[in-house]
Amino acid sequence: MNEMSYLAQSAFPLVWILIAVVGALIRTRHSPSSAAALETWQRWWAVAALGCGSLWMTIAFLTVPDVMATAIGFDRTPFQFEIAFANLGLAVMGFRAASATARERITIGLGAGMFLWGAAIGHVYQWFANGDHAPGNTGGVLVCDLLFPAVMIALALRSQRLSSAGRLTFAPA
């Protein structure tokens, strides 16, 4: 594999982060409030990053399992079918998070984090223990595994704090 192909394959998962960020930036240019802008950011992150990013992984593992096996540096195994459906679960949670409360988004982020952060640990282990530098093991996928849930949780926590601060204002007696 030439260097340009390696870089393209390694960086491709970052397209979901790029879509979420650009979409949110465009939609919040004239946002009426910081709360409205935060809501927009949460929805773009949920749908574009977690939802579409995970759906893409589902489709890739189901339709081109040999390509995905090569991309992650392994032989094809039945485990890839399980990974496809784990990602489908993440996609469903991401799409659900678009209309969820802050508390639900935190829970969705934590649920996604359990799978994706575990996958990130596995990627790093394979990288150092076995020298697996395949484009689907390091690079963009590792960044996405870390950021998809972390950003969702951070945005939802911020939203929850803003909401709580609004409820704690007292009118004079």
User: Could you report the per-residue pLDDT of 133-151, keeping only the tens digit for each?
Assistant: 999 999 899 999 999 999 9
Could you read off the pLDDT of 48-86 as tens digits, one per residue? 999 999 999 999 999 999 999 999 999 999 999 999 999
Count CA atoms within 13 Å of residue 129 on its CB side: 7
How far is CA 59 from its chain centroid? 16
Find out whether 70 and 60 touch, Cβ atoms under 8 Å.
Answer: no
Would the pTM count as exceeding 0.85? yes
The number of CA neighbours under 13 Å toward the Cβ of 164 is 8
Percent of the chain scoring above 70 in pLDDT: 95
CB 27 within 8 A of CB 154: no
CA–CA separation, 24 vs 27, rounded Å? Answer: 5
pLDDT, position 167: 56
Condensed to tens digits (0 to 9), the pLDDT of residues 117-128 reads 999 999 999 999
